[in-house]
Every structure is written in C-alpha cells, then in structure tokens.
Amino acid sequence: QKEVEQNSGPLSVPEGAIASLNCTYSDRGSQSFFWYRQYSGKSPELIMSIYSNGDKEDGRFTAQLNKASQYVSLLIRDSQPSDSATYLCAVNRGGGSNYKLTFGKGTLLTVNP
Amino acid sequence: SQTIHQWPATLVQPVGSPLSLECTVEGTSNPNLYWYRQAAGRGLQLLFYSVGIGQISSEVPQNLSASRPQDRQFILSSKKLLLSDSGFYLCALSWSSGTDTQYFGPGTRLTVL
C-alpha cells in the first residue's frame, strides 16, 4: 500500500515563529512532491513543488526533500495568522503523461497572534 | 493562466437521487483532468482521471462515473446517490506535457440526506 503520512496536528505556533511540517512516503520510486495549503471550506492551493534532494525556497516557505529517508518537509518562516490552514503533502506515484498524486490527510496549523 | 470552474458550489440531494457535477476549464488545451473527493476527516481521494476526450480511468470502484465529452469539460455522475457519497468534490487539472503539478477548482460540497 503506497501511503503518504502526515501528523494530523494541530500544530500551534506563535506569530513570527517557524512552523515545521513533515511528511513521509512509502513509495521509494516517487519522483515529485508537492505542498498545498487548504483553508477551511476551500479547495487546496499549491504552495510549491520539489523534485530534487535538498532545499527549495520560495519567499517565507522552504521545502526540504530527502529521498533516501523518504521524507519531505515544509518550513514556514515568520508565521502569520493568515498561515493558519491545513497543509497537504502530495506525492506523484504515476508515470508517463498520467500524473496521479497521492495525498496525505494533512496537518492543521494554527498561528496564534 | 488556466481557470477551473465547478458548479454547483453546494448541493443537497436525497439518497437515491441522480447526480451531475460539472467542471470546465479555460486558458489551456488538452489538459489532464481529475476528480477527487474529500470526505470529512479523510484525505483527498482520486476518483477518476482523463487524458483526453472520452478517455476515463477509474481509481476506486463505486457508484460514480465520469465523462469527458469535450476537451475542457469533465462531468461526474451518479444514477443513485448513497449517504457515503457526501463530501467535497474537487476537479483538478495538470498540463498534458511538462510539469505534473495539479491545480484545483473551487469544489462542490455535496450533502446526501
């Protein structure tokens, strides 16, 4: 069973702190990794993607990938109350032109003012 | 950039009634299209995906079906709804070449009573 695991949370951090969200996956052949943010009652919106081992930064967000250990993480620097949402990790398990993603259940982040 | 439309936004249907949810896409041609369901307390579940007109792949056995009558139109249907069909239905797209990133529409919240 190919799975994507996330701590359901809630993860609570004070405003201005660094929030660290983690995700592990079971399919060692996975190639693409995504983080989505989902506000309550809304659809997921893409934060960033990562394909290679190491760090990828985009503004206050940094994604980290370690394929050997099969984990991907998302760091949010200078957390803001507006970052309070559920964060979904997704992993590509398909190939060719059919890109099928497997999602974790998400981690609920609460940023306290 | 591409835009995904879904309607209706919300729907309340009795058990045993039929269902038709529509997804249309603007701003891109020949996209890969996906239907997901997000049930309360559960992760995103891929239901169907399509790489072209009339081409549908089913991921999970169920009483739902999908059709793609036009390049930018994707329809989710059921002949008889079950209580377990309640959830948040999301249409997503990815480009048929290049990146495997998926983008989500606004979703349809379905309640089956």
**Nearest one of A103, A85, A34 to B90, comparing CA atoms:** A103
Q: What percent of chain B has pLDDT over 90?
A: 78
- Quick one: average pLDDT of B43-48? 92
Please state, in angstroms and rounded to a whole number, the distance separating the CA atoms of residues A30 and A93.
6
Residues facing residue A32 across a β-bridge: none
- Quick one: average pLDDT of A36-50? 96
Distance from the Cα of B37 to chain A's closest Cα (Å) equals 11
- Quick one: average pLDDT of A32-55? 96
Please state, in angstroms and rounded to a whole number, the distance separating the CA atoms of residues B16 and B38.
21
Nearest residue of B to residue A49, measured between CA atoms: B101
At B95, the pLDDT band (50, 70, 90 cuts) reads confident
Please state, in angstroms and rounded to a whole number, the distance separating the CA atoms of residues B77 and A83.
35
- Quick one: average pLDDT of A104-111? 96
| Total Cβ atoms within 10 A of residue A73 | 18
Distance from the Cα of B77 to chain A's closest Cα (Å) equals 20
**Nearest one of A93, A85, A100, A101 to A21, comparing CA atoms:** A85
pLDDT at A97 over 60: no
Q: Which 3-state string (H, E, C) describes chain A?
A: CCCEEECCCCEEEECCCCEEEEEEECCCCCCCEEEEEECCCCCCEEEEEECCCEEEEECCEEEEEECCCCEEEEEECCCCHHHCEEEEEEEECCECCECCEEECCCEEEEEEC
More confident residue, A93 or B15: B15
pLDDT at B99 over 80: no
At B68, the pLDDT band (50, 70, 90 cuts) reads very high
Structure confidence at residue A94 (pLDDT): 59
For chain A, the average pLDDT equals 92
CB within 8 Å: B90 and A44: yes
At A100, the pLDDT band (50, 70, 90 cuts) reads confident
Alpha helices (H) along chain B: none
Distance from the Cα of A10 to chain B's closest Cα (Å) equals 13
CB within 8 Å: A46 and B32: no
Structure confidence at residue A95 (pLDDT): 59
Q: List pLDDT tens digits, range A49-94.
A: 999 999 999 999 999 999 999 999 999 999 999 999 999 999 987 5
Considering CB atoms only, which of A36, A43, A102 is closest to B105? A43
- Quick one: average pLDDT of B21-30? 94
> Which residues lie below 8 Å from residue B57, measured CB to CB, with a gap of 6+?
A98, B48, B49, B50, B51
Distance from the Cα of A102 to chain B's closest Cα (Å) equals 8
- Which residues of chain B does A98 touch, with a Cβ-Cβ cutoff of 8 Å? 32, 49, 51, 57
Polymer length of chain A = 113
CB within 8 Å: B102 and A34: yes
Reduced to 3 states (helix: H, G, I; strand: E, B; else coil), residue B84 is helix
Is-contact B10 B109, C-beta < 8 A?
A: yes
| Chain A, chain B: beta-carbon pairs less than 8 Å apart | 54
Polymer length of chain B = 113
pLDDT at B61 over 80: no
- Which residues of chain B does A95 touch, with a Cβ-Cβ cutoff of 8 Å? none
At B98, the pLDDT band (50, 70, 90 cuts) reads low
| Total Cβ atoms within 10 A of residue A39 | 12
Which residues on chain B place their C-beta less than 8 Å from a C-beta of chain A?
Answer: 32, 34, 42-44, 46, 49, 51, 57, 59, 88, 90, 94, 96-97, 99-107, 109
- Quick one: average pLDDT of B19-25? 97
